[in-house]
């Protein structure tokens, strides 16, 4: 009996992966996401030049064989900065989304399975946080703490926690009275065992889908704040900083803006398609139609 129970999750995972690869949009998203992850991980070996090296004698050069995406106003290779910018964007997105997801899981499980008074108190705090306008809240925190990568991650974590916690809470409230949970409780299992062995594995799936679809939102937020000089500070490569450099040099070198916008568009498409593919793969009943 235990061997069958252990084999079931593996078969479900393999089935979900097979359905994801059969979905053309989901497979396309997985390929794009894999490409960006590989770009971020292997940036030191993929970048043809040092992204911080100045060469003012060759500033604002158009795309060529030596510089595939041209150079910026300081002569830095744009392609190298875009590759290193992928590491910055994904680093901020993964760390902030991962931390917010972990805290959201903990708060959601406690709120959904804990006593009524604790649930009401946590819901009040979460609703108060979620009622704040995201951009205004971000600007207020950055004004107080100062711009930087750490402040940016803190803002994203605080903004994202309420949505994740409410999702986990709703799933936990549904499962806490399920038959298999009632059976475990009757057999003397404690709350910790029930949450870890039975409820947590069943609530992680929907959260993973939401997390994957929130990654492009975080990437765009990081780029937007960096564009305004409120996020990642120069000279560290960031897609937002590169976009700002392209805007200031738009008349003399328009290719710089295009080069900075392409990874933002492709990363948004990739993570969005991957999130939709994961949703359809994990629960085929939600699939709207053939694609």
Q: What is the pLDDT of residue 13?
A: 54
Residue showing tokens 């875009």: 82
Q: Which of 173, 161, 163, 167 is nearest to 112 (CA)?
A: 173
CA distance 232 to 224: 10
Q: Is 143 exposed, middle or buried (0-12, 13-18, 19+ CB in 10 A)?
A: exposed
Q: What would the two tokens of residue 76 be? A: 């830095």
Residue 272 included in any domain? yes
Considering Cα of 34, then 39, then 40, then 44, what sign does the dihedral take? Answer: positive
pLDDT per 10-residue tile (average), the chain, 291 residues: 39 60 81 92 92 87 88 90 93 92 92 87 86 78 85 89 91 83 77 80 84 88 86 87 87 86 91 83 54 50
Number of domains in the chain: 1
Q: What is the pLDDT of residue 47?
A: 92
CA distance 277 to 291: 10
Residue 151 included in any domain? yes
Residue 291 included in any domain? no
Cα→Cα distances 149→91, 155, 201, 261, Å: 10, 10, 32, 21
Q: What is the pLDDT of residue 4?
A: 33
Phi-psi region of 156 (alpha: psi -120 to 50; beta: other; left: phi over 0): alpha
Q: Are 100 and 164 in contact (CB under 8 A)?
A: yes
- Ordered DSSP codes for 98-110: HHHHHHHHHHHHH
Q: What is the pLDDT of residue 7?
A: 38
Residue 185 included in any domain? yes
Q: Are 287 and 26 in contact (CB under 8 A)?
A: no
The domain spanning residue 19 has which CATH number? Answer: 1.10.3720.10
Supply the range of the domain harboring residue 74. 2-286
Residue 206 included in any domain? yes
């Amino acid at each position: 009996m235990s061997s069958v129970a252990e084999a079931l999750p593996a078969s479900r995972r393999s089935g979900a992966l097979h359905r994801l690869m059969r979905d053309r949009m989901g497979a396309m998203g997985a390929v794009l996401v894999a490409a960006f992850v590989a770009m971020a991980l292997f940036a030191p070996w993929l970048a043809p030049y040092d992204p911080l090296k100045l060469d003012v004698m060759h500033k604002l050069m158009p795309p060529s064989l030596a510089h595939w995406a041209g150079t910026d106003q300081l002569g830095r290779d744009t392609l190298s900065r875009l590759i290193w910018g992928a590491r910055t964007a994904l680093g901020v997105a993964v760390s902030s989304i991962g931390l917010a997801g972990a805290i959201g899981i903990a708060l959601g499980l406690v709120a959904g399975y804990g006593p009524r008074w604790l649930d009401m108190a946590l819901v009040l705090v979460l609703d108060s946080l979620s009622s704040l306008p995201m951009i205004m809240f971000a600007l207020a925190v950055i004004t107080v703490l100062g711009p930087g990568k750490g402040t940016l991650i803190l803002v994203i974590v605080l903004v994202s926690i309420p949505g994740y916690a409410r999702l986990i809470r709703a799933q936990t409230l549904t499962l806490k009275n399920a038959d298999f949970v009632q059976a475990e409780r009757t057999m003397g299992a404690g709350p910790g065992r029930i949450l870890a062995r039975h409820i947590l594995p069943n609530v992680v799936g929907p959260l993973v889908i939401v997390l994957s679809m929130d990654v492009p939102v975080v990437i765009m937020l990081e780029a937007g704040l960096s564009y305004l000089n409120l996020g990642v500070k120069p000279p560290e490569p960031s897609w937002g900083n590169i976009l700002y450099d392209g805007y200031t040099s738009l008349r003399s070198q328009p290719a710089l803006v295009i080069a900075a916008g392409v990874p933002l568009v492709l990363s948004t498409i990739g993570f969005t398609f991957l999130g939709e593919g994961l949703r359809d793969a994990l629960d085929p009943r939600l699939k709207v139609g053939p694609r």
